[in-house]
Amino acid sequence: MYRPYHPPADPMVVRDLTQQQEEMRTHVRLVPLAAEPTLIAGCDSSFPTPETILSVFVLLRYPSLELVEKVYHVGPVTIPYVPGFLAFREAPNLLKAYEKLQQKPDVIMVDGHGIAHKRRMGIAAHLGVLLDMPTFGVAKSLLTGRYEEPAPTAGSRSPLLDKGELIGEVLRTKDKILPVFVSPGHRCDQATATRLAVACTRGYKLPEPTRLADHWAEQFKKEL
């Protein structure tokens, strides 16, 4: 299987990005939503070429999950891939896609982690702070923390812990398939993040907002 080569990160860059994350972390607020959402967005990014990033936002009515809008933005990749700092690579282009939405969501589901991150600043938390919007993350793979495998039936969950701190929940969205990792980003709490992830699941591994964002990323890629 092909794995792209990523050269070691510049220690000065890592130090600067770490400082930025530590500062942003002070702004994160984990609170329940003020009201039940009527519009929920999903977002995802992909890389049509090593130098190009394509970011997609979809907007859905909640709870029906009817598609209202889909937008994308293509831009240059401005920083190399550095583990733990994905948000700095993807967030600037995601913000440009977000600006194209005619209507704004009440909450954003991000393809990635919220506080389930070594410095509690995954891309969902990062985006939430930049937009000052309620966000949460639904990620396909583990970044940090420990958990016990949830039961094999859909809806089963188990806590994701890091040094005794609850940083997310591991959620089985479909019988006998690998779970997803749900964590709050900003202006959202764990209970709300998990509840919305479950409510937005329609028989696929990924909940509809991020599943459709991923689907449309593939479609838009064909138009480039």
DSSP H helical segments within the chain, as ranges?
A: 11-25, 86-99, 123-131, 190-199, 208-223
Q: Is 163 left (phi over 0), alpha (psi -120 to 50) or beta?
A: left
Phi-psi region of 24 (alpha: psi -120 to 50; beta: other; left: phi over 0): alpha
44 is in an annotated binding site: yes
Query: Which residues have CB under 8 Å from 129's CB, separation 6+?
Result: 24, 27, 28, 186
Pull the structure tokens for residue 118.
């070594």
Tell me: is residue 214 an annotated ligand-binding position.
Answer: no
User: Strand 39-49 to strand 52-61: parallel, antiparallel, or no bridges (unpaired)?
Assistant: antiparallel
Distance between CA atoms of residues 161 and 140, nearest Å: 17
Q: Can you say whether residue 112 is alpha, beta or left, with left for phi > 0 and alpha for psi between -120 and 50 degrees?
A: left
Q: How far apart are the first and last CA of the chain?
A: 26
User: Using CA atoms, how far apart are residues 56 and 91, in angstroms rounded to an integer?
Assistant: 11
Query: Known binding site for Mg(2+): residues?
Result: 44, 111
Known binding site: residues? 44, 111
